[in-house]
Amino acid sequence: MPPERTAAPVVRMAGIEKGFGSVLANREASLEVGAGEIHALVGENGAGKSTLMRILSGMFTPDAGTVEVFGRDVTGWSTAEAIAAGVGMVHQHFMLVPTLTVAENVALGSEPTRGMLLDRDRARRDVEERSRTSGLAVDATRPVSALSVGEAQRVEILKTLHRGAKVLILDEPTAVLSPPEVQELWGVLRGLRDGGATVILITHRLDEVMEISDNITVMRAGRTVDHIRTADTTPAHIARSMVGREVALAAEADVYRPPARGPEARPVLEVRDLVVSAHGRPRAVDGVSFEVRPGEILGIAGVEGNGQTELIEAIAGLTLPTSGAIVLNGADVTESHVRARGDAGISHIPEDRHRRGLLMDYSVAENLVLGQQHRFQKGMALDRERIARNASEQVRAYDIRPTDPALPARALSGGNQQKIVVAREMMRDFHLLLAAQPTRGVDVGAVEQIHDRLRQARDAGKAILLVSAELNEVLALADRVAVMYAGRFAVVMPREQASEDVLGPYMTGAQREAA
């Protein structure tokens, strides 16, 4: 049982405002946490939780508002000051130097010395000692690059404890852990709490929130909207706070409309035992097999980071799979180049339009032929007339604003930028459309329009593979729903059987269909 909350909060943040460029990450954000408490900071992606905590840990200075720690006004302090005062943050993307050893990483910034030299023995002993008392098992002499993700996280936590952290902030710590590692982490956190420390946990996983936290603060769109005791609430209540009224809106606006005809028999896309590695994650896609038929939408639901990105990139031809096969209309394209796949009939709406989908400094017209530029040639030169005609057609069809096709893509709003990508990929000839987060950043009215187009394409006999982190979107569009978790399909089911309640357990790994 957690001890009763003492009167004076250990951390109090009020009226916090923070902007980056034209984005306001925090506005009227607040937080109050006491000693001996595990506090969950909850909200959707982009709600401002990380920003708020980075302000607390000293990485950012707020544009407005106050931060008090242990009763002292520390607004705008530096990371060095925060660490000295006992506030330490464990980031989602580890702040560890890969070429240095565990001991060196822990020692960095507060190096023990013997005269002018680094006291390497003492650094190692400090780590071993701390490892023992906290229950975090690490090997002090190994280089960080050789550690597993779970081990690296333990080092990160050790780092903050080493500096005498009394307030420990963890940013989405379980995103990279397996279930047994999660339980280990809970043990460590409970131990810290019972010792009087304060733990702030940034997360969006409600099952975890219910399991481990004592109190909850909910953030939405940059502000703090709710503050509750875990014992007094339910996940449904939390979810409502997190999402706000939009939940009801979404449920009305996106209603599943089945196709007039069922899909044809022969699949357009066959994926067999696909294994894909990427960026140091050895089996990001860990053996996936499925088919998509003409006239159907297969929707892949799941929290981002479970291999969806790597799966789409492998099918699109941007990553070479480690093993397995990708077959398009009977032809093996597993090793085909991107352009060949495009010519064979694959269209791809990439999930990151800023990095992949658009050239920000190119004009709208130039972007509308991206990926197809070899089809708009007249000899060596580009056929500017055809490109212009293509542009005016697509700008009109998708209502892209402003309508001047000579503007650089950078000058358009996010929603219109996405429309460029969607227009381009959908208005050409294709058999298979890969749609990854197709309505990301698009305003509500345009979302409906894009959803209609997707349904039209399906009714016209196209095959669509949809990946979306928005469960509502998947439920609105897909004829069959798959849930991806930890690199595998946890389940595949017809739309009629799917709902938020049914899919939820699969999405958090609580449930897995027997293979």
User: What's the order of all strands across the beta sheet hosting 269-278?
Assistant: 281-292, 269-278, 323-328, 331-332
Q: At CB < 8 A and 24+ separation, what contacts does 398-404 make?
A: 398/422, 398/423, 398/449, 399/446, 399/449, 400/364, 404/364
- b (16+ CB within 10 A) / e for 353-387: beebbbeeeebbbbbbbbbbeeebeeeeeeeeeeb
Q: Give the nearer residue to another protein in terms of CB position, either 119 or 184.
A: 119
The nearest distance, CB 449 to another protein, in angstroms, is: 19
Q: Give the nearer residue to another protein in terms of CB position, either 191 or 414.
A: 414
Q: DSSP code of 263?
A: P
Beta carbons of 69 and 85 less than 8 angstroms apart = yes
The nearest distance, CB 24 to another protein, in angstroms, is: 10
Q: Give the nearer residue to another protein in terms of CB position, either 225 or 370.
A: 370
Give the Cα separation of 496 and 471 in Å (integer): 15
Beta carbons of 279 and 313 less than 8 angstroms apart = no
Beta carbons of 55 and 29 less than 8 angstroms apart = no
Q: Give the nearer residue to another protein in terms of CB position, either 12 or 77.
A: 77
Q: Give the nearer residue to another protein in terms of CB position, either 112 or 461.
A: 112
First-to-last alpha carbon distance for the chain, in angstroms, is 40
The nearest distance, CB 430 to another protein, in angstroms, is: 14
| HEC profile of 442-453 | CCHHHHHHHHHH
Q: Give the nearer residue to another protein in terms of CB position, either 8 or 247.
A: 247
User: What's the order of all strands across the beta sheet hosting 215-220?
Assistant: 87-90, 167-171, 198-203, 37-42, 215-220, 223-229
Task: Kindly state the helix (H) or strand (E) to which residue 123 belongs, with its residue range.
Answer: helix 120-134
Q: Give the nearer residue to another protein in terms of CB position, either 94 or 290.
A: 94
Q: Give the nearer residue to another protein in terms of CB position, either 266 or 354.
A: 354
Residue 70 backbone zone (phi > 0: left; psi -120 to 50: alpha; other: beta)? left
Q: At CB < 8 A and 24+ separation, what contacts does 410-415 make?
A: 410/360, 410/361, 412/364, 414/441, 414/442, 415/441, 415/442, 415/443, 415/446
The nearest distance, CB 162 to another protein, in angstroms, is: 10
Q: Give the nearer residue to another protein in terms of CB position, either 35 or 74.
A: 74
